[in-house]
Chain A
Amino acid sequence: MTTVIIYALTATTLFSVGLYGFAIHPDLIRKIVSLNIMAGGAFLFLISLAYHTGSPEVDPVPQAMVLTGIVVTISATAFALCLARRIKEKTGQCLLEHRRKDTET
Chain B
Amino acid sequence: MDLVFDLIIGLSLAGVSWRIVRAREHFQAIVLFITFGLLLSLAWTRLKSPDIAIAEAAVGAGLAGVLLMDTLGALSSPRERAKVVISLKLLIPCLFLAGLMAYSILYIPEDFQGLGIVVREALPQTHLEYPITAVLLDFRGYDTWLELGVLLVAVLGVLCIRRTDNIKGTMLPAPAEPVGSWIVKLLLPLMVLIGGYLLWLGAFAPGGAFQGGVVLASAGVMLWQSGHPSLGLMPRLWWKILLCSGFLSFLILAFSSLFYTDQLLTHPATKTWILGVEYAATLSIALCLISLVLGSPARNHENKGV
Interface positions of A (Cβ within 8 A of B): 1-10, 12-21, 23-25, 27-30, 32-34, 36-37, 40, 43-44, 47-55, 57-68, 70-72, 74-79, 81-86, 88-89, 94
Q: Are B82 and A30 in contact (CB under 8 A)?
A: yes
Q: Are B13 and A10 in contact (CB under 8 A)?
A: yes
Most chain A CB within a 10 A radius of its CB, from B105, B111, B119:
B105
What is the size category of the interface that chain B forms with chain A?
Answer: 35 or more
Which chain A residue lies CB-closest to B132?
A60
Q: Are B114 and A61 in contact (CB under 8 A)?
A: yes
5 new A-B contacts, CB < 8 A, other than A68-B136, A75-B154, A82-B162, are A44-B40, A54-B111, A71-B59, A72-B147, A82-B295
Docked Cα-Cα span, A60 to B138, in Å, equals 13
A-B contact pairs, 24 of them (CB 8 A): A5-B106, A7-B43, A8-B108, A9-B10, A10-B14, A15-B101, A17-B18, A19-B97, A24-B85, A24-B90, A27-B82, A33-B20, A34-B21, A36-B64, A44-B43, A50-B47, A54-B113, A60-B131, A64-B143, A67-B210, A68-B136, A71-B285, A76-B154, A82-B295
Q: Are B143 and A68 in contact (CB under 8 A)?
A: yes
Interface positions of B (Cβ within 8 A of A): 2-3, 6-7, 9-11, 13-14, 17-18, 20-21, 26, 29-30, 33, 36-37, 40, 43-44, 47-49, 51-52, 55-56, 59-60, 63-64, 67-68, 71-72, 74-76, 82, 84-85, 87, 90-91, 94-95, 97-98, 101-102, 105-106, 108, 110-117, 119-120, 131-132, 134-136, 140, 143-144, 147, 150-151, 153-154, 157-158, 161-162, 210, 285, 288-289, 292-293, 295-297, 299, 301, 304
Q: Are B47 and A7 in contact (CB under 8 A)?
A: yes
